[in-house]
Amino acid sequence: MTTAVESPQFIRTIEWDMMDKSKFFPLSMLSSFSVRCCLYPLTVIKTRLQVQRHDDVYKGMVDAWTKIYQGEGAAGLYRGFWVSTFQIISGAFYISTYEGVRHILTINNVNSRLKSLVAGGCASAVGQTIVVPFDVMSQHLMVLGIVLNPLGISMDPTRSRLKITLDIMKQIYIQDGVHGFYRGYVASLCTYVPNSAMWWTFYHLYQDELYAIFPSWVSHLFIQCMAGTLGGFTTTLLTNPLDIVRARLQVQRLDSMQKTFHILWTEERLRIFTKGLSARMVQSACFSFAIILGYETIKRMSVNEEYREYIRCYFQVAYQSLEFISSIPSNTLEFILASSAFLPEDLKRINSVVGDHKKHSWYIEEEEGGDNPKGVKPNK
């Protein structure tokens, strides 16, 4: 089996067989829930912008945020949240499918980017099969009585969210049967399967390019978060029209993707490529950054003991930074440190750490009667 490595001593990509699953799954679900809590309002705003006709209700992302908050309070930004949290379950299936397919392809020596493309597509197909019914219900809750109310749900303010949610489930079943919970399923697959496949491909592509650009001492986690964000931007630009078709199909109860696209083209023309794009770009960038930050951190926390010493983390980054510092001539480093606004405790730390690392040690020369250091001198 081949493993993506940065150098003989460090593993760049933590593969599926390197992790303790009993740690990985609960931590992954906790991370997913935390990210969803923080970023869910962006999903609400994106959905409302996508399903409105022209700019009838909201003029853009900021206008939507302001009007929702002023008119409905913070609760308006979290409409349908508890229904959508069931997506955490699909997330566990998604990531296990992604990692499992990658593992199988790795054993067969498949190219890294092709692995990401195939695994990302398979993961999305599994995830969407589980999540679409909850997606349909949460989207109805997001737009209910504000943009649309296609199910004719009573908007009595005294009714609880639970009763409204149960009403939505009942009306979907009465009007469309079980099929109604999978309305837009094909559109979801057409949107999210290529989206996921491209996102993981671009994630690894941008990672490779950023590794080539940045010095070796730059944090891997920082590079991975940047790569995830750039991957999110790219896939959002390429798939935005498909996401609008999916949202309209699920909420407005249209018959087919073709009819939905025709209606959208009649209403919006070329604006179909930019409708709700700003909200979706912000959402995608934030989600991509946060998901990768959590995902890669949890992989590091879950790695099996025998691989732990080969995982590059903050300590290795610090060590390589010291290697870089050690390569600086003594007189240059003396000038840099002496002219910097370091506190005495910082310089003492430099004295200890850098002094141990270099062949000669350092000491701090302090002004008489004061705490402010005059500079840092090498011991001769």
* Per-residue confidence (pLDDT) for residue 62, from 0 to 100: 85
- Residues 148-175, mean pLDDT to the nearest whole number: 73
Give the residue, 321 or 121, on which the prediction is more confident.
121
Question: What is the per-residue pLDDT across 289-342, written as a single tens digit (0 to 9) for each?
Answer: 998 998 888 988 888 888 877 776 544 444 444 444 555 555 555 555 454 444
pLDDT band at 201 (very low <50, low <70, confident <90, very high): very high
* Per-residue confidence (pLDDT) for residue 227, from 0 to 100: 94
Specify whether the CB–CB gap between 189 and 175 falls below 8 A: no
pLDDT band at 199 (very low <50, low <70, confident <90, very high): very high
Print burial letters for 253-278: b (CB count within 10 Å at least 16), e (below 16).
Answer: bbeebeebbeebeeebeeebeebbbb
- Residues 238-265, mean pLDDT to the nearest whole number: 76
* Per-residue confidence (pLDDT) for residue 359, from 0 to 100: 40
Residues of the chain within CATH 1.50.40.10 domain(s) are 5-308
Minimum mean pLDDT range among 65-69, 115-119, 236-240, 242-246:
242-246
Mean pLDDT of the chain: 75
Minimum mean pLDDT range among 67-76, 155-164, 175-184, 274-283:
155-164
If you compute the radius of gyration of the chain from its CA atoms, what whole number of angstroms results?
A: 26
CA 145/CA 76 separation, integer angstroms: 12
Q: What is the DSSP string of 122-135?
A: HHHHHHHHHHHHHH
- Residues 7-11, mean pLDDT to the nearest whole number: 56
Is the pLDDT assigned to residue 104 strictly greater than 60?
yes
Residue length, the chain?
380
Give the single-character DSSP code of 75: G
User: What CATH code is assigned to 5-308?
Assistant: 1.50.40.10
Give the residue, 255 or 377, on which the prediction is more confident.
255
Specify whether the CB–CB gap between 94 and 193 falls below 8 A: no
- Residues 10-29, mean pLDDT to the nearest whole number: 84
- Residues 336-365, mean pLDDT to the nearest whole number: 47
Minimum mean pLDDT range among 36-40, 193-197, 326-330:
326-330
Is the pLDDT assigned to residue 106 strictly greater than 80?
yes
Q: What is the DSSP string of 214-261?
A: S-TTS-HHHHHHHHHHHHHHHHHHHHHHHHHHHHHHHHTT-S-HHHHH
Is the pLDDT assigned to residue 343 strictly greater than 60?
no
CA 121/CA 159 separation, integer angstroms: 41
pLDDT band at 378 (very low <50, low <70, confident <90, very high): very low
* Per-residue confidence (pLDDT) for residue 231, from 0 to 100: 92
Minimum mean pLDDT range among 90-99, 247-256, 263-272, 369-378:
369-378
* Per-residue confidence (pLDDT) for residue 119, from 0 to 100: 93
Spell out the residues 6+ positions from residue 33 whose beta carbon is closer than 8 angstroms to its own: 85, 88
Specify whether the CB–CB gap between 118 and 133 falls below 8 A: no
CA 147/CA 169 separation, integer angstroms: 19
- Residues 147-171, mean pLDDT to the nearest whole number: 71
Tell me the range of 54-63, 113-122, 214-223 where mean pLDDT is highest.
Answer: 113-122
* Per-residue confidence (pLDDT) for residue 54, from 0 to 100: 67
* Per-residue confidence (pLDDT) for residue 226, from 0 to 100: 93
Tokens of 273: 């490529």
In percent, the amount of the chain with pLDDT more than 70 equals: 72
Tokens of 81: 């949240």
